[in-house]
Structure 1
Amino acid sequence: MSRKKLDFRADAFRDVLGYTFRHWAKQPMRATAIALTVLLTTLAEAFSPIFAGRLVDAVAAGSGTNEANWQPAIMAFAVMVTLFLASVVLRQLVFLNLIGFTLRMMKDVIADAFHRVQRFSTDWHANSFAGSTVRKITRGSGALDLLNDTLLIALWPSIVMLVGATVILGSVWPVMGLVVGLGSLIYVGLTLWMQVGFVAPAGTLANAWDTRMGGALADAVSCNSVVKAFGAETREEAILERVVGKWRKRTRRLWQRGTLSGGAHGLMLGIMQATILGTALVLWRQGLATPGDITFVLTMFFVLQGHLRDVAQHIRNLQRSVNDMEELVALDSQKLGIEDKPGALPIRITDGAIAFDHVTFQYGSHPTPLYRDFSVRIAPGERVGLVGHSGSGKTTFVKLIQRLYDVNDGTITIDGQDISKVQQSSLRGQVAIVQQEPILFHRTLAENIAYARPGASRAEIEQAAMQANAHHFIVDLPKGYETLVGERGVKLSGGERQRIAIARAFLADARVLILDEATSSLDSESEVQIQQAMERLMVGRTTLVIAHRLSTVRALDRLLVFDHGRIVEEGDHASLIGLKDGIYRRLFERQALELTKGLQIA
């Protein structure tokens, strides 16, 4: 194992343990109580062999009818029973405290991870499998249970026992203390080296493929309608088979290395056992140990042997826990991407005036900026259409208004407030958006509509649905507004999902409204009704309409024609259609020609 790989593994252990200890620090009293109780329990176990030896010496001294022999024997027996009962009671206290301690930690870890994932940038979510992310969180939080058990009620008492046995035996026979202490250090050191340098790297690779397997499963299951549409079940099974095959190979290597490591531990334990027992026999031969002393050494050894054997298992569990938590801890260390500035205050949008002032913006991996020294102003209540070829900068324009990305230079303001200096949640909470491909939660229709305003009454929800022309199809459903819509709204048609999203925008009642071709999924009759409702909704609100079908923007106050991140034409429909070689005119004429051909074919 190279030094570089060992350093990498050490970094992983340090990061995971540091993360765990930070969560321990949130419950200092309970963590301290558990550690002290485990210490007392282990000390009770460590001192038992001493009194076992005294009991044997008392018995070997002569008949039990002799009071001089009986009193030491019964005293040793009483102490052993007391230590045993104390150990049982203390161990129960440890477990009872550990339950609450670990569950609180798991709750905090899941909540913290979810908090961060929710706030990661749009790019991060675009490049991450949802299923893989969920797997990282669930696997990591589950591993925390094993990690706490390993550190607090496994490794900690084993370390106490090894140190205690070394001190106790060394105080009677220094050579025995040296044998036990040195043997324990060598055993633990070699065990750590094998787990960190030999087993752990295989565990990291196995977990990486476990994550990929979870992502592949989630991707195929969530896109099952597409799979069925193309009869691609066998093809998807073949893709998964390749991923599972890789996972199987990596996991087999992990298990094989764990088995070899276990064999090495057994060999080392056998050597240590022979050394300790051999030393005890030499001491007995030299007259330096009584039968009780030999009993003491044997009893201590059997206790010590159990802990040494367990230390190997504990270190394996520690390694497995660290492997399972690595990706969760990595989530915690990742930057959010778009973060609120210290002391950021909520934005207050009253009029909806939007201004881009000398904005330069460049996507992270793109070699050149999309916007360079870009400026535009949108008046309060103005209805503006964003037109242009795909990739011209229309969608980026509205994403920057929502602060899904930060600009490289310049400022974007709403009502004079720099959006980079306000709380993101307050900004997005006051900008209503209807996306071209609306996404719904697997919740009731009422909950999906009310997502824009959770405190809305049922009457307000129904009114919003009526305005969006959704009320009639909702009440026709067996459970009406209490109907569950399925994952991402799969139980509804495209047009129905769109109308629910539009109802959500009605209910938001925000001063700034963004419509990403909000009527594209509706049939002709519904489109007319919704278009009328949208006209009413836009009155008095600053509205941005990303236009793909130019027929939807003819009545807007102003159109901005984008081309490679620049506004190349500006005006209303009538003025732009009059530009002989204008981009807008060419786009409009092309769509009109395509519509005419379609009608002729029909």
Structure 2
Amino acid sequence: MSQRSSENAIREVLTFLLRHWWREKWFVAWVAGCMLSATAADLLMPVYSGHLVDALAAHPVSRAMALMAAIRAIAMMAFLGVSLALLRYAGMAGIIRLTLRLMSRFAGQAFWRVQRFSTDWHANNFAGAIVRRITRGMWAVDMMDDILLLDLLPALVVLVGSSLLLGWHWPIMGALVGAGAVAYITISILLSLYYVSPASRLSNAQDTRIGAAMADSITCNTVVKSFGAERREDVRLGRVLDKWHRRTARSWTFATRNGAAQQLLLQVLRAVVLACAVWLWWKGRATAGDLTFVLTSYFIVHGYLRDIGQHVRNLQRSANDMEEMVQFYARPLGIEDRPGAVPIRVREGEIVYDHVTFRYAGQTDALFEDFSLRIRSGERIGLVGHSGSGKTTFVKLLHRLYDADSGSILVDGQDISHGVQESLRAQIALVPQEPILFHRTLAENIAYGRPNAPMHEIEAAARLANAHDFIVRQPKGYQTLVGERGVKLSGGERQRVALARAFLANTPVLVLDEATSSLDSESEALIQEAMERLMAGRTSIVIAHRLSTVRMLDRILVFERGRIIEEGTHEELVRRIGGTYQRLFERQALGLVVDGIDEEETGFNDEALAYE
């Protein structure tokens, strides 16, 4: 990373944090006020230490007067000490509330944005890495709040105040301490910003890759075991860890050198200040109490300066930790609702593609060009075609996972680009080819489309999907946890849970992405019957990989490179001599492996993966 990029990144993080501090300005003002008052008490302590020494030294004749002056100095020092402790406690109590509010807000807002990023973005990023960026940034807020409000703010006040107090008595001493403090802080910031920070950013980037690599292997543990590849995955992670080890060692080494340089600067400054104090005493310009005041003040300054060096390093590290999370806020959402968007209400389920043109980002040729189609309310449509012909993109556009470049898509006469996305998707039930379940109970997964559905409706939906029997055999029935992505269930069981979810959602529009592909032959016949019930009275779009799925549909559309090349019922298309549909059907009936069809039966294509 360049020096300039490190400086910009830290500036962006600090600007981001200060903007959110402004939203909590009363909490920030409370914490800052308490810490500044506590620091003032700490700053005045050396003054009364000097008074104490002068009281004892200035009254050799009258011990009583000396005692009274000493008692006054001690009482004032005690008062300042108690005040300091109480004020710091009040500041700490305030910063606890402030930091927890900010951490919760940042994590929630980052999650909100990540949920709304495009499907392409999610397809290109590891879930484990995303989670690591959010959690690392969330905890960095805790450190930054402490450093800025509890540490650096009081330290700067002490440095300025001590320089002014010393300068009031001896201008040369005040100038010396002030100049030394400014030089030390400047050098510390420059070392952290331009020497340590670039190495730290590289270390953080590799730390994110560790989370991504682990999540990738753990999520696919079934595949790892099926190929006996545990050792291979160990080696793969080991390479990532080796790179992290090198980068982190470099980062820590740079930080250690930075700390050593700061300590050397402090030792030089201390020697100069002590020499100046002795010179003032030698010239008769300072008493023993004055020397006590100077030494006590400098020891406080020295301690704060030493801590400032550590605080600057921690500030740089926490800014690096927050940087990746802050980038989520700068990144535009994939598809955003327009200003003034209104909820879409679907009753009939008529769908119209009106002269739609669409191309994927980075591609010169459009997949759909001036594409038009009308699906009547309640009509059951099958989409057939080779891999990459546009079937899944057709459904993505309906779900508004992408916006068309031109033209419009209407649902019940409502342009979906002008509506609220969530309202549209909530009324289109999707049963994907490879259903993904949450690591929650079976009941929660079935009711995901209607989270407040009563238990008897959940069970009814499961019966319609032929899922009830296997569910009641589970250890806790409908309250059984299914594992991450539903890994504790077979593919057919996951598919039936997804079908039950669609039954319960009871939406006007239904999309079935080869919903029987994961079922055994016996279950398939039952599910086909259930699907007939599910599609009744609903506008249904079926992406068909096995053509037996679409035989009973009202209309079949054969796609090729974003165009509909054939259209009709199964009986009409299968009789069309030399037609694409007839050729595909005959080859499947003969059990032959065909280019494109075999791809779709085994795993679909890149756009289908992105859609999921």
TM range (shorter): over 0.9
Deviation per residue, 1:113-136 (Å, 9 max, x gap): 111111111011000000000000
Question: Is 1:540 aligned with 2:537?
Answer: yes
Question: Is 1:554 aligned with 2:551?
Answer: yes
Question: Is 1:497 aligned with 2:494?
Answer: yes
State how 1:170-189 maps to structure 2 within 5 Å.
170-189=167-186
Q: Is the 8 A contact 1:216 1:240 kept in 2?
A: yes
Distance 1:408 1:282 in 2: 80
Question: Is 1:81 aligned with 2:78?
Answer: yes
In structure 2, give the amino acid aligned to 1:98. Answer: I
State how 1:446-465 maps to structure 2 within 5 Å.
446-465=443-462
Q: Is the 8 A contact 2:382 2:542 kept in 1?
A: yes
State how 1:158-557 maps to structure 2 within 5 Å.
158-557=155-554
Deviation per residue, 1:62-98 (Å, 9 max, x gap): 3485333233222111111100010011111111111
In structure 1, give the amino acid aligned to 2:91. Answer: V
Deviation per residue, 1:238-275 (Å, 9 max, x gap): 11011000000000000000111011001100111111
Q: CA deviation at 1:22?
A: 2.0
TM-score, with length taken from structure 1:
0.97
Distance 1:53 1:5 in 2: 50
Q: CA deviation at 1:576?
A: 1.1
Distance 2:22 2:516 in 1: 53
Distance 2:25 2:477 in 1: 50
Q: CA deviation at 1:287?
A: 1.1
SS of equivalent to 2:23? coil
Q: CA deviation at 1:143?
A: 1.1
- 1:127 alignment partner in structure 2: 124
Distance 2:305 2:502 in 1: 64
Distance 2:159 2:207 in 1: 37
- 1:600 alignment partner in structure 2: none
Deviation per residue, 1:420-461 (Å, 9 max, x gap): 111111111000000000000011100000001011000000
State how 1:4-83 maps to structure 2 within 5 Å.
5-63=2-60, 66-83=63-80
Mean alpha-carbon deviation: is it higher for 532-541 or for 205-214? 532-541
In structure 2, give the amino acid aligned to 1:350. Answer: R
Q: CA deviation at 1:365?
A: 2.3
Question: Is 1:588 aligned with 2:578?
Answer: no
Distance 1:79 1:185 in 2: 31
In structure 2, give the amino acid aligned to 1:95. Answer: M
Q: Is the 8 A contact 1:64 1:70 kept in 2?
A: no
In structure 2, give the amino acid aligned to 1:322. Answer: A
Distance 1:68 1:367 in 2: 95
Q: Is the 8 A contact 2:449 2:504 kept in 1?
A: yes
Q: Is the 8 A contact 1:468 1:500 kept in 2?
A: yes
In structure 1, give the amino acid aligned to 2:384. Answer: V
SS of equivalent to 1:25? helix
Question: Is 1:92 aligned with 2:89?
Answer: yes
- 2:115 alignment partner in structure 1: 118
Q: CA deviation at 1:7?
A: 2.1
Q: CA deviation at 1:188?
A: 0.2
Distance 1:178 1:581 in 2: 96
In structure 2, give the amino acid aligned to 1:97. Answer: G
Q: CA deviation at 1:5?
A: 2.5
Distance 1:204 1:353 in 2: 52
Distance 1:22 1:542 in 2: 48
Deviation per residue, 1:515-565 (Å, 9 max, x gap): 000011111121111111111111111000000000110111111110011
In structure 2, give the amino acid aligned to 1:156. Answer: L
Deviation per residue, 1:14-70 (Å, 9 max, x gap): 111111112212221111000010000001000110110011011111348533323
Instruction: Please list every run of 5 or more consecutive structure 2 residues that lacks an aligned counterpart in the other structure.
Output: 595-612
Distance 1:352 1:367 in 2: 33
Size of the alignment, in residue pairs?
594
Q: Is the 8 A contact 2:59 2:65 kept in 1?
A: no
Mean alpha-carbon deviation: is it higher for 523-532 or for 49-58? 523-532
Q: Is the 8 A contact 2:384 2:558 kept in 1?
A: yes
Distance 2:417 2:270 in 1: 67
In structure 1, give the amino acid aligned to 2:437. Answer: L
Distance 2:90 2:199 in 1: 37
- 2:606 alignment partner in structure 1: none
Instruction: Please list every run of 5 or more consecutive structure 1 residues that lacks an aligned counterpart in the other structure.
Output: 598-602
Deviation per residue, 1:387-446 (Å, 9 max, x gap): 000110000000110001111111111011111111111111000000000000011100
SS of equivalent to 1:594? coil
Q: Is the 8 A contact 1:110 1:137 kept in 2?
A: yes
In structure 2, give the amino acid aligned to 1:78. Answer: A
Distance 1:432 1:64 in 2: 98
Deviation per residue, 1:447-483 (Å, 9 max, x gap): 0000010110000000000000000111112211011
Distance 2:581 2:469 in 1: 37
